[in-house]
C-alpha cells in the first residue's frame, strides 16, 4: 500500500479520470474559514495494488474542493457526490469518481466533493462537512449557466458516512454555519434530490454506526447532539425526494435503523422516494457473488433519475 503525503493539492493527481475536467476549491482562500489554525497532515493514501486502478483515500483536509466531471452530452441536471469513509477519510475513487462516470455518460454533470473531516479540529466541529456541502451546492448554482445546468435540478449523492452528509444537506440545508463569506452564501443550499447509498442516518445508541458517530460527535455525545444529527428525525415537508439503496446483509450500517428509518419518515411526510433493499451486497456492495443483483444498483438509480427527476 503506497501512501502519498500531499501538502499542496495538484490538479494532476485528481484529473486522471476519463471525464474529470477541473478542480474547484470551495472557499476564496482555498483554506476554509474555520480551518486556518488547524494543524493536520494532509495525506492521500493509495490503497490499490493495481497501478491501473485507483482507490485513494484523502485525510487531513483543510482546503476542501470538488472535482468536476463533465457530461458527454449534458442533460441539464447535476449531482454533487459525497464519498464515504466513516468521517475518518474521503474515499473519492470507489465512492466518488468511479460512480460519476456512468452518470456523466448519461448526461449528468457530476462534482465529487472532498470535504473536511469533523475530527480534525475545525472551528465548525461536526458541522464542518455540512458547511462544505452547503458551499458546494451554492457554487454549482452560481455557475449553473456556465456548465449548462438547470439550477433547479442539482442533487446530492452520498455513500455510507457520505450518505449521512448527503442526508444532512437534504434536511439541514437552511442551517447557518459560520459567517457569510461572499454573495455565493446567499444562494439556496437545498438539493433538489438525494441518492443515498447504504447511508449512516441515526446517531442514537441503538443502530448507529459507532465509528462514524465517534468521529462526528465524540466518544460520549450528549442527547442534543445525537438528535441534531439523526437525520431521520429532521425530515419535513421540504425535504427533497430520495432514492435509497441498501443491502439486507449490511452488518456495518444496519439498514433498519438507517436507510429504512429515513424512508419511513419520508413516507410519513409525503415525500416521494424509492427504496431498494438487495438481498446480498454487504456494506458498499462488496459481495463476492458476480451474479448479485446489487451489481445493477447504479443503473436502477439512473432509471429513477430519468423517470422522476429529470423529466
Here the CATH number for the domain that contains residue 243 is: 3.40.50.1820
Please, what's the largest Cα pairwise distance for the chain? 50
Please state the separation of Cα 98 from the chain's center in Å.
14
Q: Which three cell numbers stand for residue 271?
A: 415525500
How many residues appear in the chain? Answer: 311
Residue located via cell numbers 433538489: 192
Distances 205 to 17, 91, 214, 223, 226 between C-alpha atoms, Å: 40, 26, 11, 10, 9
Tell me the pLDDT tens digit for each residue of 206-255.
Answer: 999 999 999 999 999 999 999 999 999 999 999 999 999 999 999 999 99
Report the mean per-residue pLDDT for the chain: 93
| Percent of the chain at pLDDT exceeding 90 | 89
Is pLDDT at 3 greater than 80 in this prediction? no
The DSSP bridge partners found for residue 78 are 109, 154
The pLDDT assigned to 20 comes to: 65
pLDDT range class, residue 21, cuts 50, 70, 90: confident
Q: What is the DSSP letter of 117?
A: P
Q: How confident is the model at residue 10, as a pLDDT?
A: 36
Phi, psi of 266 (to 5 degrees): -60, -45
Model pLDDT for residues 28-56, shown as the tens digit of each residue? 999 999 999 999 999 999 999 898 899 99
SS (H, E, C) 285-308: CCCCCCCCHHHHHHHHHHHHHHHH
Domain span at 32 = 2-309
Residue 19: per-residue pLDDT: 60
Q: Is 165 exposed, middle or buried (0-12, 13-18, 19+ CB in 10 A)?
A: buried
- Indicate the number of domains in the chain: 1
Averaged pLDDT, 268-280: 97
pLDDT at 288: 87
Q: Which three cell numbers stand for residue 137?
A: 451546492
Distance of CA 34 to the CA centre of its chain: 20
Q: Give the number of other CB atoms < 10 A from CB of residue 45.
A: 16
Q: What is the pLDDT at residue 51?
A: 87
Give the C-alpha separation, 298 to 289, whole Å: 17
Ranking 18-32, 65-79, 100-114, 280-294 by mean pLDDT, the lowest is 18-32
Strands, E assignment, 26-64: 43-46, 56-59
pLDDT in tens, 115-149: 999 999 999 999 999 999 999 999 999 999 999 99
Q: pLDDT tens-digit profile of 154-168?
A: 999 999 999 999 999
Contact (Cβ atoms closer than 8 angstroms) between residue 297 and residue 266: no
Please give the pLDDT value at position 130. Answer: 98
Tell me the C-alpha to C-alpha distance, in Å, between residue 208 and each of 101, 200, 224, 226, 305.
Answer: 31, 7, 15, 10, 29
Amino acid at each position: 500500500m503506497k501512501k502519498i503525503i500531499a501538502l499542496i493539492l495538484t490538479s494532476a493527481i485528481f484529473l486522471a479520470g476519463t471525464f474529470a475536467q477541473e478542480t474547484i476549491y470551495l472557499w476564496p482562500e482555498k483554506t476554509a474559514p474555520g480551518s486556518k489554525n488547524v494543524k493536520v497532515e494532509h495525506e492521500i493514501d493509495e490503497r490499490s495494488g493495481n497501478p491501473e486502478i485507483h482507490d485513494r483515500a484523502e485525510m487531513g483536509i483543510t482546503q476542501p474542493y470538488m472535482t468536476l466531471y463533465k457530461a458527454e452530452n449534458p442533460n441539464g441536471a447535476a449531482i454533487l457526490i459525497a464519498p464515504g469513509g466513516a468521517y475518518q477519510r474521503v474515499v473519492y475513487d470507489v465512492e466518488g469518481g468511479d460512480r460519476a462516470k456512468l452518470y456523466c455518460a448519461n448526461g449528468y454533470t457530476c462534482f465529487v466533493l472532498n470535504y473536511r473531516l469533523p475530527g480534525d479540529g475545525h472551528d465548525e466541529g461536526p458541522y464542518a462537512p455540512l458547511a462544505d456541502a452547503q458551499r458546494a451546492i451554492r457554487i454549482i448554482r452560481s455557475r449553473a449557466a456556465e456548465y449548462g445546468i438547470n439550477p433547479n435540478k442539482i442533487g446530492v449523492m452520498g455513500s455510507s458516512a457520505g450518505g449521512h452528509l448527503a442526508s444532512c444537506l437534504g434536511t439541514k440545508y437552511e442551517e447557518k454555519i459560520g459567517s457569510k463569506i461572499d454573495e455565493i452564501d446567499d444562494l439556496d443550499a437545498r438539493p433538489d434530490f438525494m441518492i443515498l447509498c447504504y447511508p449512516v442516518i441515526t446517531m442514537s445508541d441503538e443502530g448507529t454506526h459507532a465509528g462514524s458517530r465517534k468521529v462526528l460527535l465524540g466518544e460520549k455525545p450528549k442527547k442534543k447532539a445525537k438528535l441534531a444529527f439523526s437525520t431521520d428525525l429532521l425530515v419535513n415537508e421540504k425535504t427533497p425526494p430520495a432514492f435509497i439503496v441498501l443491502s439486507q446483509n449490511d452488518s456495518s450500517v444496519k439498514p433498519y435503523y438507517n436507510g429504512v428509518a429515513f424512508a419511513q419518515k419520508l413516507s410519513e411526510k409525503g415525500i416521494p422516494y424509492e427504496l431498494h433493499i438487495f438481498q446480498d451486497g454487504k456494506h458498499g456492495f462488496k459481495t463476492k457473488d458476480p451474479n448479485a443483483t446489487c451489481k445493477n444498483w447504479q443503473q436502477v438509480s439512473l432509471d429513477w433519475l430519468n423517470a422522476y427527476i429529470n423529466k
